[in-house]
Amino acid sequence: MTNDQQILDDLKDPSKKELAFKHLLSKYKERLYWHIRKIVLNHDDADDILQNTFIKIWNGIDSFRAESSLFTWLYRIATNESITFLNQKKRKSAINLNEENEYLIEHLESDPYFNGDEWQMLLQKAIATLPDKQRLVFNMKYFDEIKYEEMSEILDTSVGALKASYHHAVKKIEEYVKSNETVIRL
Amino acid sequence: MYENDHIEPEFLKRQKKNPFQTPEQYFETLEDRILKNITNENQTKARSFKLIKFIKPALGIAASITLIYLVMQAPIELRMFSKVAQKNIPNINATTPAEEYSFLLTSTDENTLINAISSGETNDQEDINQDEVLAYLSTGLNDVEIYSEIQN
């Protein structure tokens, strides 16, 4: 597998740009897809956002200054695209903060590509009740196992603030699960 | 700090599993679709760039012609305007009675005319002698009335 530095060097060379981009696509498409999917939950939305993300990467690769790693830069673009998408949806449907979670849960329940059991549905619903930032941090730490230092670069937030966000997210999920677990009684 | 002061909740001990799926062959076809989208976007950009490149000189020529027209037209219009304005000024140096009459008709408006008429009437009234008025009135009066009028 081609390493990131090699991909970056090739992307800056017009004669190798297309091939290098194919390498980048093949290396990161799944990771970015799952990152986006956990934010927006719905497959179709995730697909649209992923395509826009890669188009942005292609168009912006010349301005990438390598101040952060390629992986961080890609995640940052994907995260921004996902958050922008969610904000646009909220604005279009005039959703207030309380309804926002319901909107995500509705999407989750109607998604034909959700294959989890009742416990996983409960966990996803609990995650959907979190504020955007806590949801992001929890997903990145719990599912993607991204280090706080890397997360700090992606989300442009201090490590301390990220740890606090994760801690609050875990507490809230725990409370949600405890109060709703009896309903599904595992 | 947050990691150490908290006992790990039960749900975190459960086995993690990604509950989401994708349509069949999604990742296999993804690359082609993304590359196709990028190619389409580049073509659209190139087309609009070509169009702009094609239109740009024409727009430049059109803008230059408009500018030249405006620059040329402005003095002509100014000259035309001053000629028309000169034509419309009444000839106050007219000497013949017909010209004087024509000048009065064109330069006198309704209000001026009414003022002139009413001012004439006022002068007529001022010219009437007080004694004449009294004499006129006395024709319908008897002697006693005339005497009392004179006394007053």
pLDDT tens per residue, chain B (152 residues)? 555 555 678 888 888 888 999 999 999 999 999 999 888 887 887 777 666 676 777 778 888 888 888 888 877 777 776 776 676 665 555 566 676 666 666 666 667 767 766 665 555 555 667 777 667 666 666 667 667 766 66
A17 touches chain B (CB under 8 A): no
Q: What is the mean pLDDT of residues A57-69?
A: 86
Query: B27 contacts in A (CB within 8 Å)?
Result: 29-30, 33
Interface of A with B in 20-49 (CB under 8 A): 21-22, 25-26, 29-30, 33-34, 37-38, 41, 43, 47
Nearest residue in chain B measured CA to CA from A45: B22
Of the residues B2, B7, B43, B44, the best mutation for testing chain A's interface (the one with the most A CB atoms within 10 Å of its CB) is: B2
The angle formed by the CA atoms of residues A177, A178 and A179, to the nearest 5 degrees, is 95
Predicted TM-score (pTM) above 0.80: no
Q: What is the mean pLDDT of residues A102-118?
A: 83
With 60 as the cut, is the pLDDT of residue A28 above it?
yes
Own/partner long-range contacts of A40-47 (Cβ < 8 Å, ≥24 apart): A40/A82, A40/A85, A40/A86, A40/A107, A41/A104, A41/A107, A41/A108, A41/A111, A41/A124, A41/A128, A41/B20, A42/A107, A42/A108, A42/A111, A43/A111, A43/A112, A43/A113, A43/B20, A43/B21, A43/B22, A43/B23, A45/A85, A45/A107, A47/B26
Looking at residue A155, its pLDDT comes to 93
Interface of A with B in 74-103 (CB under 8 A): none
Per residue in B19-48, pLDDT (tens digit) is: 999 999 999 999 999 999 888 887 887 777
Looking at residue A62, its pLDDT comes to 85
With 50 as the cut, is the pLDDT of residue A186 above it?
no
Nearest residue in chain A measured CA to CA from B32: A22
> Which range is most confident: A102-111, A153-162, A173-182, B11-20?
A153-162
Nearest residue in chain B measured CA to CA from A138: B12
Per residue in A120-161, pLDDT (tens digit) is: 999 999 999 999 899 999 999 999 999 999 999 999 999 999
Query: A51 contacts in B (CB within 8 Å)?
Result: 33-34, 37
Looking at residue A110, its pLDDT comes to 82
Q: What is the mean pLDDT of residues A60-78?
A: 88
Residue B5 distance to chain A (closest CA, Å)? 10
Pairwise CB contact (< 8 Å): B19 & A143: no
Predicted complex ipTM exceeds 0.90: no
CA distance readout (Å), B31 to A19, A21, A45, B41, B79: 12, 10, 17, 15, 70
Higher pLDDT, A107 or A79: A79
Looking at residue B14, its pLDDT comes to 86
